[in-house]
Amino acid sequence: MTIRKIATIGHPVLRQRSREITREELASEATQRFIDDLIETMRDASGAGLAAPQVYEPIRIVAVEVKKNARYPYKPDIPLTVLVNPVIEALTDETFDNYEGCLSVPNLRGVVARATEVRLRAWDRHGNDVDTVVRGLSAGTFQHECDHLDGAVFLDRVKDTHTLSTWTDFERFHMAAFVERARALVERYGS
């Protein structure tokens, strides 16, 4: 396994629509190795998720995993999930204000409205169908990663630029209030 370089904002690979991959491609050794690298890179960078274009591969694959995450200590755990060609659909108009960060947008966080409940349809890394509903704070993580596949980053969805903050100032000025809101959400949805 190889830890890959992460593309940062300004690189065109983050701004294009990534392409679907075929079952044959998915089954190939190269793609399976790539998925291992994607997971390894996500873990190495303490990301809650990582999308293939963030490591310069414009294909529709994302990995998500939260396990007592150091970057996001308030996030509930999410078991390792690899989604191939995911289709995400909001199941409600209800949103919550999520304070997001991104490995491709160094040292910046901002508030983004995310649906509290989404349906995800995809393949797993072995080509098996995935059809699942994710709620609460975890729903935001999946929306963030799927956005990357369409060339969007969280900054595009920040409505109030006054919420933008460095990581240090997030901890100093915004984290306490956000964690309180996040806890209420996690309590309500269990995720």
Binding span for Zn ion by CB under 5 A among 56-64, 74-82, 87-95, 97-105: 97-105
Minimal distance, residue 102 CB to Zn ion, in Å? 3
Could you tell me how many residues of this chain bind Zn ion (CB under 5 A)?
1
Range 27-35, long-range pairs (CB < 8 A, 24+ positions): 27/127, 32/125, 33/1, 34/61, 35/61, 35/63, 35/82, 35/125
Contacting residue, 102, 112, 120, 185, with Zn ion by CB under 5 A: 102
61 part of the interface to Zn ion, by CB under 5 A: no
Q: Which residues are tagged catalytic?
A: 145
DSSP 31-53: HHHHHHHHHHHHHHTT-SEEEGG
Smaller CB separation from Zn ion, 102 or 185: 102
Residues 39-56 as b/e (b if ≥16 CB within 10 A, e otherwise) read bbbbbeeebbbbbbbbbe
The label of the residue with tokens 């991104």 reads 102
Minimal distance, residue 100 CB to Zn ion, in Å? 8
Minimal distance, residue 51 CB to Zn ion, in Å? 7
110 and 100 Cβ atoms separated by less than 8 Å:
yes
Smaller CB separation from Zn ion, 10 or 190: 10
Which residues of this chain interact with Zn ion, rule CB under 5 A? 102
